[in-house]
Structure 1
């Protein structure tokens, strides 16, 4: 099996781990460590970062935690040495004594400050525009009211139609029920008639085969009764 020419060796992984731990311990970022290792191994920082997160980091979890702890201690010591104050990126200039005295001098008596303001007067054009807006608003309001009334009337009409259709549906259902009952009755009558016809046919055949003087009478239910001789 051939090894890839760009495969990571144990020395490369060790260099990557040592560099990352050093940067973390000194307060730098892992990205800077990836760039440094990439320059040394002729690889991209993205490739170094992927190798660290996918393979190497799991082997140095304890060392990484220790490096982060050392970084906190280092930052705490540096903060005490600097008095616990962060240096501002921008410091505003401090005015001199002459500038302060010049700003505090009173104004001369001959300088008057005009504080009067002319009253605001709306022009005729602005008044016309305002009236046009008011008229347009009233027209829109009137149109909206008219549409609302139309919708209410349409809603009432639809409700009446729904009620009428509901009544018609109930009436049709009742009619269908009556027709079903009539159909059942007609079916029963038809079956009774068929039975009577079958009995009559059998009686005729019996008379033709064996003539007899015995007389029979059929009742309304289709039953035959023998008459006394």
Structure 2
């Protein structure tokens, strides 16, 4: 039974998947059979192999797939032509010779496709690596810009905090002065009221000599 793996697909896994699937296409087999064979070789389920092929690997081997389909058609055509063109030769021997020739041709084609796939894979990884390097540089620059902006904001925050502290101190001073002034004004108002009341209470009368004297 095929083991279920949870790790990521490696470059070797993708190459095995491509080689086996292309071979099945050339030989007239089914992709399901290819996925089952690959699953047995790399320890994955056939469903996982099929998903990987359709979602990722197939896109990198479009040209190789077309070549494999043409080879399959040529293989079938050669078999039919050999049987029709040589009626005096044993059909079994013709098929055997044709099979040997095709297998030899397929071996060469498979090797070339494998090398082509490796080269394409390495080029893609080189491009991806260069793109990642570019992204890293952009992120590093963005990080430096944000650090500078953060430092400026910290300085601004410190300056504003200092200003707020000074304003609070001035406010407390003004508030204390205001309270003191209110107390002074209230005391003066009370003194004024008392003075008026004292004046209203004082009465005078004239004596026999014409002098004013205060009446208590």
TM-score by length of structure 2 reads 0.40
Q: Which protein is richer in helix relative to its size?
A: 2
Q: Which has the higher contact order (CA 8 A, sep 6+)?
A: 2
User: Which protein has the larger Cα radius of gyration, Structure 1 or Structure 2?
Assistant: 1
